[in-house]
Amino acid sequence: MRIIAHLDMDAFFAAVEERDNPRLKGLPIAVGADPRQGQGRGVVATANYKARVYGLRSALPISQAWRLSEAARRQAKPPVVFLTPRFDRYLEASVKIVSVVRSHVPQIERAGLDEMYLDLSFAGSYESAGEVALEIKRDIRETERLTASIGIGPNKLIAKIASDMKKPDGLTVIREEDAERFLEPLSVRKIPGIGPKTEIQLNRMGIRTIAQLKAVSLGRLEEIMGKWGRGLYEMAQGRDDSPVEESGEVKSISEQETFLEDTLEAEFIVTRLKEMARHLTDRLREEEFRGFRTVGLVVRFADFETKSKSFTLKNPIRSADEMFAVALRLLLPFLDRRMNPGLKKIRLIGLRMEKLVKPDDGE
Ligand code: TTP
Ligand code: MG
């Protein structure tokens, strides 16, 4: 019998900020782009639970977040404290949380900066697994002063959905025999991989809940979803055999920046690119990779048209300078008519490292 847990930190970036700065205690907080009195661009990375009461959430445009905060202020409620992200702090916290969890569980799989899967099969029963989860939660609270929510189930799918049920600071245990009934009333959107577009597509066919999805035949799902149909069919029944495995945990590391103003000023953009390369290679070292072989660049123009390019090298890149050199070659055509015939201004650039090389990978 497998017993799997999914652990996800609560309002992660905001929680780290609140912990690090006692003056923020109890206030609504949003971490993300600078709101600039409502003129800011970019989005909210995350909001703490106090700010979520005002309607703030991840990916909300920062200008809207500002308006929600101002509306609260007019009702004599505390306005939102807006903070810019400090990724190095979140990464540091993430590394520590992983080591706390490892001291309780031998087999874990990191699934992001603030989430991971744990194989708790060794506990032998759902009761014992629940106790292990409570110990882990307590340990994280005591050593890191942060709260996590944990879901437990017969596989990664159920565990992942369960961890989201009682946020923040929750623990939800779904036994194998209860898994199908647990899923049935939930929105199809709860299934990892079903995003807004697929949700709309399914809704149009009258499929809103997982129970309704379950009633669709495999053949029909394959017709609608193509290759993904089978996976979806399995998940609708609550089945997921994928193992908790460490390998390939982090596939890429990326960063993006929305400029304060759309611009085509080469010197400015190149300087930002250089800074991002430096920052990314720092993260590479902190994540203990030896290097990477693919550089990816995303350019979003003022009209939101978005282009991406990547370049893969034979030998791993290790330094910021090497990364910058490759990134610059990818960027330059977007600054002139080669890849930007209308000479449109640029709104955002993103830089990504892929094909990450681990210390134990042979060359
Ligand atoms: P999540 O776990 O999705 O969100 P959260 O931890 O802030 O809140 P919850 O309690 O609901 O789990 O993401 C983890 C971190 O990743 C989050 O703190 C900020 C970052 N993030 C973004 O930068 N942009 C996004 O759109 C999302 C969803 C998250
Ligand atoms: Mg989280």
Q: How much is the pLDDT for 359?
A: 77
Of all protein residues, the one whose alpha carbon is nearest to atom 22 of ligand 1 is 45
Ligand 1 pocket member 58 (CB < 6 A): yes
Lowest-confidence region among 131-135, 229-233, 245-249: 245-249
Query: Does ligand 1 lie within 6 Å of residue 18's CB atom?
Result: no
Q: Cα dist. 160→67, 93, 145, 318 in Å?
A: 33, 21, 23, 34
115 is catalytic: yes
Rounded distance between C-alpha atoms, residue 285 and residue 353, angstroms: 12
Please state, in angstroms and rounded to a whole number, the distance separating the CA atoms of residues 68 and 59: 14
pLDDT of residue 362: 56
Query: Does the beta carbon of 116 sit less than 6 angstroms from any atom of ligand 1?
Result: no
pLDDT per residue as tens digits for the range 177-201: 999 999 999 999 999 989 999 999 9
Ligand closest to the CA atom of residue 11? 1
| The pLDDT of residue 246 is above 90 | no
Instruction: Point out the least confidently predicted range of 97-101, 248-252, 316-320, 323-327.
Output: 248-252
Ligand 1 in contact with 33 (CB < 6 A)? no
More confident residue, 32 or 361: 32
The tokens for 290 are 């030896």
Share of the chain above pLDDT 90, in %: 90
Buried b (16+ CB within 10 A) or exposed e, 116-137: bbbbbeebeebeebbebbeebb
pLDDT greater than 70 at residue 247: no
Q: Whose CA is nearest to atom 15 of ligand 1?
A: 12
pLDDT at position 60 is 97
Tell whether the model's pLDDT for residue 306 goes beyond 60.
yes
Q: Which atom of ligand 1 is nearest to the CA of 9?
A: 6
**Out of 117-121, 159-163, 227-231, least confident range:** 227-231
Q: pLDDT digits over 6-31, tens only?
A: 999 999 999 999 999 999 999 999 99
User: CA nearest 25: which of 15, 33, 34?
Assistant: 15
What is the mean pLDDT of the segment spanning 104-122?
94
Q: Check residue 136 and give its pLDDT.
A: 97
State the catalytic residue, choosing from 17, 18, 109, 115.
115
**Protein residue with least CA distance to atom 28, ligand 1:** 58
The pocket of ion ligand 2, defined by CB under 5 A, consists of 8-9, 12, 114
Q: Which atom of ligand 1 approaches the CA of 31 most closely? A: 19
Q: What is the DSSP letter of 176?
A: G
CA 287 – CA 281 distance, rounded (Å) = 10
Task: Provide the pLDDT for residue 363.
Answer: 47
